[in-house]
């Protein structure tokens, strides 16, 4: 079995402290917001897995298609000896790239879920005795220190998750990615593409109501972790296309005038009837825009791959 190491960089109560800070700042802001990362407790993760199988939700299938078709090209273009994956989860999607990278010596999965990292890391280490697996329990939106592994490095950020960051946040994030990499290293980035509004809205408001349950799950997380008394049934799931910003917004709309108490914060939050709480922004991209943002961060887009229906893209960018 190959070496499997895990490094914990998050303080013991980092998750709880971050949740408290996000809820306090988000629910006292105008308009009210909550970050999408709080969807993903165990139940939320199960719901998202269901979403990826829905007929309306194309991104996961489209990205998988590209990875299956282009893994060899990605490997050849990057020549990576180390693969770093941000938000790796089960590491399932990157297996195609890992298998194609014949010179790969180290894999560095990064995730806030220690259990996911252990499960995926131990399985991969058993399958690939030639591969060093060094997992990091870390929040990739905070500064990272990567282990000392051989270059060139390929840093993968898949799933279109970059679209959950607002433009200013994306600038900070891409600058931080650039800071982790050396000249000749590369970024493999997954981006959902601008397309017909009806297709986009259906992907975030499915007929079976799974996305609605996923959206409302953030309220259950706040109830459980912070002693709040949200009634999820008192909110309706809303998905809207913002054509000016070219992003989908998921919101929860209060069905009546109500006050929610959050005991852990000693906070009472008033909602007017019809008032909306934004829970996610999911930006959609065009090639020129992606190229421009990457160039501003010091990376040059060299390869652009889409699925056969041009719904989703993977891009490879090299550090200058």
E strands of 4-115, at which residues? 4-8, 82-86, 106-111
**Is a pLDDT exceeding 60 seen at residue 2?**
no
Q: Name the pLDDT band for 1 (thresholds 50, 70, 90).
A: very low
**Is a pLDDT exceeding 60 seen at residue 294?**
yes
- Whole-model pTM: value is 0.94
Report pLDDT for 139.
Answer: 86
| pLDDT (tens digit per residue) in 143-157 | 899 999 999 999 999
| pLDDT (tens digit per residue) in 190-244 | 999 999 999 999 999 999 999 999 999 999 999 999 999 999 999 999 999 999 9
| CA dist 196 → 217, 243, 249, 291, 305 (Å) | 28, 11, 15, 22, 20
**Token pair recorded at residue 272:** 């007017």
Residue ranges of domains in the chain, CATH in brackets: 1-226+285-320 (3.40.50.150)
Report pLDDT for 140.
Answer: 86
Q: Are strands 186-192 and 312-319 parallel, antiparallel or unpaired?
A: antiparallel
Instruction: Please state which of the ranges 105-119, 259-273, 306-320 shows the lowest mean pLDDT.
Output: 105-119
172 Cβ contact partners less than 8 Å away, ≥ 6 residues apart: none
Average pLDDT, the chain: 94
Which residue stretches of 104-195 are H helix? 114-127, 167-180
**What span, in angstroms and rounded, lies between the C-alpha atoms of 305 and 135?**
28
């Amino acid at each position: 079995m190959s070496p499997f190491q895990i490094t914990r960089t998050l303080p013991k109560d980092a998750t709880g402290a971050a949740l408290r800070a996000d809820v306090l700042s988000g629910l006292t802001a105008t308009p009210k917001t909550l970050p999408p990362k709080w969807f993903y407790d165990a139940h939320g993760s199960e719901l998202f897995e269901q979403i990826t199988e829905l007929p309306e939700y194309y991104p996961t299938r489209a990205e998988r298609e590209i990875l299956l078709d282009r893994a060899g090209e990605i490997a050849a273009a990057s020549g990576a000896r180390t693969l770093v994956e941000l938000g790796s989860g089960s590491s399932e999607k990157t297996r195609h790239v890992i298998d194609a990278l014949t010179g790969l010596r180290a894999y560095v999965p990064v995730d806030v879920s220690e259990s996911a990292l252990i499960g995926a890391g131990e399985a991969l280490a058993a399958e690939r005795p030639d591969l060093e697996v060094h997992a990091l329990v870390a929040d990739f939106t905070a500064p990272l220190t990567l282990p000392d592994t051989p270059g060139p490095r390929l840093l993968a950020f898949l799933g279109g998750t970059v679209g959950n960051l607002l433009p200013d946040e994306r600038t900070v994030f891409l600058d931080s990615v650039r800071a982790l990499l050396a000249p000749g290293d590369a970024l493999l980035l997954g981006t959902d593409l601008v397309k017909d509004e009806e297709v986009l809205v259906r992907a975030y408001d499915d007929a079976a109501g799974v996305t609605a349950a996923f959206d409302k799950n953030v309220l259950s997380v706040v109830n459980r972790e912070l002693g709040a008394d949200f009634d999820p049934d008192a909110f309706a799931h809303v998905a809207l296309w913002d054509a000016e910003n070219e992003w989908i917004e998921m919101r929860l709309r209060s069905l009546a005038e109500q006050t929610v108490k959050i005991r852990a914060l000693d906070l009472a939050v008033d909602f007017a009837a019809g008032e909306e709480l934004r829970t996610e922004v999911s930006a959609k991209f065009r090639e020129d825009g992606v190229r421009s943002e990457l160039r501003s961060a010091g990376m040059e887009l060299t390869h652009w791959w889409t699925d056969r229906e041009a719904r989703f893209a993977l891009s490879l960018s090299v550090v200058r």
